[in-house]
Amino acid sequence: MSIPINIAELVTQNITTIFALITTGMFAGILAGLLGVGGGIVIVPVLFFLFQGFGVSPESAMVIATATSLATIVPTSISSIRSHHKKGNVDFVLLKRWCAFVFIGVLIGSWLVTRVNGSVFTLLFGTIATLSACNMLFRTQKSAIFNTLPSITGQGMMAGSIGFFSSMVGIGGGTLSVPLLTLYNYPAHKAVGTAAAIGLLIALPGALVMLAIGSTPVDAPAGTIGLVNLLAFICIVPLTVLCAPIGVLIASKLDANKLKKVFACILLFTGVRMLVQVVF
């Protein structure tokens, strides 16, 4: 799909879409600061339903939402890595051990996004969102099952799976890697910090693959190259960065645990709704 060269024309013709995307960025940023959740778990379903509201098919909406979400994670994860690194919470030894496996998983997963019907990824995201919501609602802080991480082979399978599934649904490393690491008695603060770096390992190659070899759907929204909607990227990223501190400020004044439960209920509803849309 060709991209309008005249920026003013692009803006005036898509003012409603731009307003909705800016709102999405604000919402994702506030939630990221408020609850410590990754932007992808918020951005993907919002874009999925938003694009459909502008006449995009569910299949096209899902793959574009996935690719665009990965693109937005790149700059925000870099900022997050710097913050966590200053606190000593990024485990570079683990990253060095995992990076090749994550990368391979991402390449396979992102390639599949460019080749497989989008309804498959809607089903997958709905499943992951539902499981993540249940994890937030019912899992306790002291629910480690194993005392230490598995062997190198086991860790390679974990890392590859995280890269594979995360790239296919447009989320960073936190949604899958933090729960998995803490199952193995890994320190929670290091799991969160290291997950930010894993997110960059997932988002950058995944977004590039979908940008370079993805075939733009005929019903894609304006500003889409490959499978990445640049209009959404430009609108969402600055607002996510600017609004995250607002979320942190709100969190300092409210009960974070109760807020996380509320978000988990919303996420559960969203995940189930996506599953129902695919099945029925």
Bridge partners, 229 (sequence order): 224
CA 42 to chain centroid: 7
User: Does 191 reside within a domain?
Assistant: yes
Domain coverage including residue 168: 7-279
Lowest mean pLDDT among 116-130, 137-151, 209-223, 265-279: 137-151
User: Does 29 reside within a domain?
Assistant: yes
CA 68 to chain centroid: 9
User: Does 190 reside within a domain?
Assistant: yes
Distance between CA atoms of 103 and 162, rounded to whole angstroms?
Answer: 10
User: Does 173 reside within a domain?
Assistant: yes
Higher pLDDT, 85 or 37: 85
Return the structure tokens found at 58: 């569910």
CA 186 to chain centroid: 22
Question: What are the tens digits of pLDDT across the range 184-241?
Answer: 989 888 888 888 889 899 999 999 999 999 999 999 988 899 999 998 999 899 988 8
Amino acid identity, position 157: M
Characterize 93-128 residue by residue with b for buried, 16 or more Cβ atoms within 10 angstroms of its Cβ, and e for exposed.
Answer: ebbeebbebbbbbbbebbbebbeeebbbbbbbbbeb
Amino acid 249: pLDDT: 79
Cβ-based burial of 174 (10 A; exposed 0-12, middle 13-18, buried ≥19): buried
Q: What is the domain count for the chain?
A: 1
Say if residue 59's pLDDT is above 70: yes
User: Does 1 reside within a domain?
Assistant: no
**Average pLDDT value for the chain:** 86
* R_g (Cα) of the chain, nearest Å: 18
Lowest mean pLDDT among 5-9, 16-20, 28-32, 77-81: 5-9
Question: Is residue 159 a contact partner of residue 101, using CB atoms and an 8 Å limit?
Answer: yes
Say if residue 124's pLDDT is above 90: yes
Residue from 52, 48, 46 nearest 27 by CA:
46
Residue whose entry in the numeric block shows the structure tokens 């803490």: 182
> For the residues 96-111, what does the mean pLDDT come to?
96
Question: What are the tens digits of pLDDT across the range 240-262?
Answer: 888 877 876 776 777 767 777 88
Return the structure tokens found at 158: 């974990």
In sequence order, the 6+-apart residues with CB closer than 8 A to the CB of 223 are 3, 4, 10, 14, 229, 230, 231, 232
How many residues in total does the chain contain?
A: 280
User: Does 103 reside within a domain?
Assistant: yes
User: Does 61 reside within a domain?
Assistant: yes
User: Does 2 reside within a domain?
Assistant: no
Amino acid identity, position 181: L
